[in-house]
Amino acid sequence: MSPATTLSHDTGPHDRDLFIGRLDVEDVAQVIYGEITPETLGRAGRGNGCMAEYKRGNGVVYNAGSCEWVNGLIQREPTVERVTRNVLLGEWG
């Protein structure tokens, strides 16, 4: 379990998120709170994510629900590529 976001929180060009932006958080704020304000954006921009991994016989099951993961791979987003590579190669804790 880990904190998650629907809003890009970059601090400059070195860590700019290539695909989250502001549209997701604005949509969530509008749907849940009925308006887009700094307060509703702050509330809608935070959430949780969960990944699960377990071994079964000679195999491993890994689950990380995401509807934007493929987009991260298409955009060649470094963090998404790194996590995908680690999972496929079995290089995680």
Q: What is the full per-residue pLDDT of the chain (93 aa) written as tens digits?
A: 666 777 766 667 776 666 666 778 888 899 999 999 999 988 888 877 777 888 888 888 878 777 678 878 888 888 889 888 888 887 655
> How far is Cα 49 from Cα 80, in angstroms, rounded to an integer?
14
Residue 88: both structure tokens together: 């496929």
> How far is Cα 75 from Cα 78, in angstroms, rounded to an integer?
9
pTM of the model: 0.48
> How far is Cα 6 from Cα 46, in angstroms, rounded to an integer?
7
